[in-house]
Structure 1
């Protein structure tokens, strides 16, 4: 099964709220490179379809994290399937249409060759998590916890003041869980170029 097919299957199975179909139509349209884009310029998923693969990996990591007895019983984290799918699959939609293929010289087997690489070129530099929330919101209503989870999924690795991240993790535990799943997928599951 292709990554696009797997993504669409998970999305359509769990995300049912008003506007979900319209947002999926946008992701599948020629206005979006979501299913062909890399997840980064040179780190995790820095290859075609890396973004959709990363999104699916985050979904599976989040499902696994939230299924743990300790997480449910001690931390009280209990979210429905729609919320889990929505925040995991859509947390990085801010990366749509921002990676451009360029070429540089690289020595390969002793000879200089033109090799492709990705450049980051964001025509709507609205931040990272907040841009994803901004892009989803015209299509679907997010709960406050979903919006905070997507907004702060980068955790302490973003440029936000630590007190904002700490406050968010304390008051919106889904943000902590999504950040944990994102880091797990990034550093242990996603492929490298």
Structure 2
């Protein structure tokens, strides 16, 4: 099964909210490069399909985090399969149509050569997490905790006021769980892949 097939299977089997079908239509349309886009210009997932792969990695990491005994018994965190799929699979929609193929010069063996790269060009500079919430909300309604989870999924590594991040994590534990899953996918799963 390809990553695209897996994404669509999870999406269709877990997300049934009104408008979700229209959002999937958009993701699959030629107006969106979600399935081909990189996850970043130079870091994790900086290759074709990186955004899709990252979204699936975050989904797997979030599921694993929420299955931990301490998370379930001590923290008593429990979320629907739909909420888990929504926040994990859609948290980085803000990156759709933002990366353009280009080249950059690098020195290799004393010679300058051009290598392929991605350049970031955002035509809707609405922020990161907030832009994803905005884009999703154009198709379907998010629960408050889902919206905060997506908005603050960058955690303390984003440019947000640290007090707001801490308050969001306290008030909406799904935000902390998603941020943890995002960091695990970025730095452990995808970081290792890039360094091989």
TM class by smaller structure: over 0.9
Q: What is the CA-CA distance between 1:161 and the residue it aligns to?
A: 1.1
Secondary structure, counterpart of 1:192 in structure 2: helix
Q: What is the CA-CA distance between 1:16 and the residue it aligns to?
A: 0.7
Following the alignment from structure 1 to structure 2, what is the Cα–Cα distance between the partners of residues 83 and 105?
43
Q: Does 1:10 align with 2:10?
A: yes
Following the alignment from structure 2 to structure 1, what is the Cα–Cα distance between the partners of residues 45 and 9?
21
Map Cα deviations across residues 158-193 of structure 1 (whole Å, 9 max, x no partner).
Answer: 111111001000000000000000000000112328
Which stretch shows the higher mean deviation, 166-175 or 100-109? Answer: 100-109
TM-score by length of 2: 0.95
Match of 1:131 in 2: 131
Q: Which runs of 5+ in 1 are unaligned?
A: none
Q: What is the CA-CA distance between 1:2 and the residue it aligns to?
A: 1.2
Q: What is the CA-CA distance between 1:107 and the residue it aligns to?
A: 3.6
- Return structure 1 stretches of 4+ with deviation > 6 angstroms: none
Following the alignment from structure 1 to structure 2, what is the Cα–Cα distance between the partners of residues 109 and 32?
39
Q: What is the CA-CA distance between 1:104 and the residue it aligns to?
A: 2.0
Match of 1:177 in 2: 177
Match of 1:116 in 2: 116
Which stretch shows the higher mean deviation, 69-78 or 101-110? Answer: 101-110
* Cα RMSD for the two superposed structures: 1.2
Following the alignment from structure 2 to structure 1, what is the Cα–Cα distance between the partners of residues 146 and 101?
32
Following the alignment from structure 2 to structure 1, what is the Cα–Cα distance between the partners of residues 94 and 44?
16
Q: Does 1:92 align with 2:109?
A: no
Q: What is the CA-CA distance between 1:103 and the residue it aligns to?
A: 1.2
Q: What is the CA-CA distance between 1:153 and the residue it aligns to?
A: 0.2
Match of 1:192 in 2: 194
Following the alignment from structure 1 to structure 2, what is the Cα–Cα distance between the partners of residues 38 and 12?
23
Following the alignment from structure 1 to structure 2, what is the Cα–Cα distance between the partners of residues 20 and 67?
26
Q: What is the CA-CA distance between 1:111 and the residue it aligns to?
A: 4.4
Q: Which runs of 5+ in 2 are unaligned?
A: none
Q: What is the CA-CA distance between 1:114 and the residue it aligns to?
A: 2.2
